[in-house]
Amino acid sequence: MIRIIFPVLLGVSALVSASLAAAEPVTLAQDAPDSYEVQRGDTLWDISGRFLRQPWRWPEVWRMNQREIHNPHLIYPGQIVVLDRSGPYLRMGKRIGKAGTEKLSPKAYSEDIGQAIPSIPQNVIQPFLTQPLVVDDERLAGSAAVIATQEGRVNTGLGDTIFAKNVDPSVQAWQIYRPGFKLQDPETRETLGYEAFYLGSARLEAPGEPATLRLTEAVREIGTGDRMLPAEQPTLFAYAPHPPAGMVEGKLISIYGGVSDGGKNSIVALSVGRSDGVDPGTVLALYRHRGRIEYKEEGKRETYLLPDERYGLVFVFRVFNRVAYALVMDTDGQVAVGDRIRQP
């Protein structure tokens, strides 16, 4: 089975009206406001975090009048989010009246979808929307590959001609990448795939073996041996955050870019996937291992394993059988390779 990971376009919608099962009641954030005016650049996670201690649980508390709001899954700058503390619930409203005598009333909106507030920071994952991210050994074995460049150059660039093998003649647009950093299971050391460095794109000019293509983008030098895959259009998703269906236990196996630690808005690879009950929108908690300590008393030595420290949350946006990619949403410290992940 071919497994190749592509990042996907985040949907502009992430709210659902159905309640999600939860072990604890939703609790309000300290100093939660009665209302908040949505600003350009906000995300649904950030907005919900102003009201809730667990911002990922926003689908449980939103209440919208679907007859008045054409698409209840969209929120725009200038709208007012109103807190009903009896639930708690969050509703949409609009400020009316003169200064000092403001009231809140329901309002129907019709806006350009491009201005809608995303669920998580879309600009952070923009480089991952259409470019290859991870490939595995199976895909590498039979993939299209550059076998020669224009006039025998070692490397080539924008507008140049390249020649490649194993090119599907029915595919016009191609992406070119180079396998890079190895992703390994931290427990078994099994290789799960390789992070792919995006090099550029090309368009098929003449099918054959080899096929002739012209480079339409080159962000890095492209040369013989570089791999190719069909360029796919990003898929729209409406991510609703939710806990995993069951118990999940895994580790953070990579921080994109090959660094050993990161922080909020880092893209991370996890050693869990579809086979573990993880799907797009799954929220998982980050835990830091505190290690063991020795305690001495009256000549006796005792060893204790300290409990792991929970310190952050990640939001999964792409899932495959044994690996998932997620965005770090909240953290009170550095995120490190080897940290544990569990259900929140």
For residues 313 and 223, membership in a common domain is answered with no
Residues 226 and 267 occupy one common structural domain? no
Evaluate whether residue 113 is within a structural domain: yes
Residue 125 lies in a domain: no
Q: Would residue 240 count as lying in a domain? A: no
> Positive or negative, the Cα torsion across 106, 107, 108, 113?
negative
Higher pLDDT, 149 or 163: 163
Give yes or no: residues 143 and 211 share one domain: yes
Examine the domain organization and report whether 54 and 113 are in the same domain.
Answer: yes
pLDDT digits (tens, 9 = 90+) for 237-287: 456 778 888 899 999 998 876 777 888 888 898 998 888 999 888 999 999
User: Do 311 and 269 share a structural domain?
Assistant: yes
Residue 128 falls inside a structural domain: no
In 3D space, the residue among 257, 284, 271, 278 whose CA is nearest the CA of residue 185 turns out to be 271
Query: Would you call 276 helix, strand, or coil by DSSP?
Result: helix
3-state secondary structure 123-180: HHHHHHCCCCCEECHHHHHHCEEEEEEHHHCCEECCCCEEEEECCCCCCCEEEEEEEE
Ramachandran angles phi, psi of 125, nearest 5°: -100, 10
User: What is the C-alpha to C-alpha distance for residues 218 and 227, in angstroms, rounded to an integer?
Assistant: 14
pLDDT at 145: 93
Last residue of a domain, one of 200, 230, 260: 230
Residue 5 belongs to some domain of the structure: no
User: How much of the chain, in percent, has pLDDT values that exceed 90?
Assistant: 20
CA distance 2 to 136: 8
284-293 pLDDT, tens digit per residue, is 999 988 878 8
CATH number assigned to the domain comprising residue 327: 2.40.30
pLDDT at 118: 59
In order of 50, 283, 305, 324, 339, the CA distances from 293 in angstroms are 38, 31, 7, 33, 19
Structure confidence at residue 180 as a pLDDT band (50, 70, 90): confident
User: What is the rounded radius of gyration, in angstroms, for the C-alpha atoms of the chain?
Assistant: 24
Instruction: Please provide the average confidence, as pLDDT, over all residues in the chain.
Output: 76
Inside any domain, residue 55: yes
* H/E run at residue 193: strand 191-206
* Domain-embedded: residue 6: no
Structural domain for 298, as ranges: 249-342
Are 226 and 265 part of one and the same domain?
Answer: no
pLDDT in tens, 305-323: 888 889 999 998 887 778 8
- Residue 219, in any domain of the structure: yes
* Residues 106, 22 within the same domain: yes
Q: Do 140 and 217 fall into the same domain?
A: yes
pLDDT greater than 80 at residue 193: no
Asked if 69 and 147 sit in the same domain, the reply is no
* 11 vs 80, residue with greater confidence: 80
Rounded CA-CA distance 8/236 in Å is 7
Contact 270, 252 (CB under 8 A): yes
Provide the domain count of the chain: 3
Closest CA to 180 of 169, 194, 200: 194
Determine phi and psi for 16, rounding to 5 degrees. Answer: -130, 150
Reading the block at residue 54, the tokens are: 């667990």
Of 169, 203, 230, the residue that ends a domain is 230
pTM over 0.95: no
Looking at the fold, whether 89 and 154 belong to one and the same domain comes out as: no
224 and 304 belong to one structural domain: no
What is the distance between the alpha carbons of residues 227 and 225, in angstroms, rounded to a whole number? 6
Positive or negative, the CA dihedral 62, 68, 74, 77 is negative
**pLDDT(207) > 90:** yes
Same domain, 213 and 277: no
**Centroid of chain to Cα 259:** 18
**Residue 307 CB burial class (10 angstroms; 0-12, 13-18, ≥19):** exposed
Phi and psi at 210, nearest 5°, equal: -85, 160
pLDDT per position as a tens digit, 212-247: 999 998 888 888 899 998 887 655 445 677 888 889
pLDDT at 125: 59
Give the number of other CB atoms < 10 A from CB of residue 249: 12
Burial degree of 70 (CB within 10 A; 0-12, 13-18, 19+): exposed
Domain end call among 94, 119, 144: 119
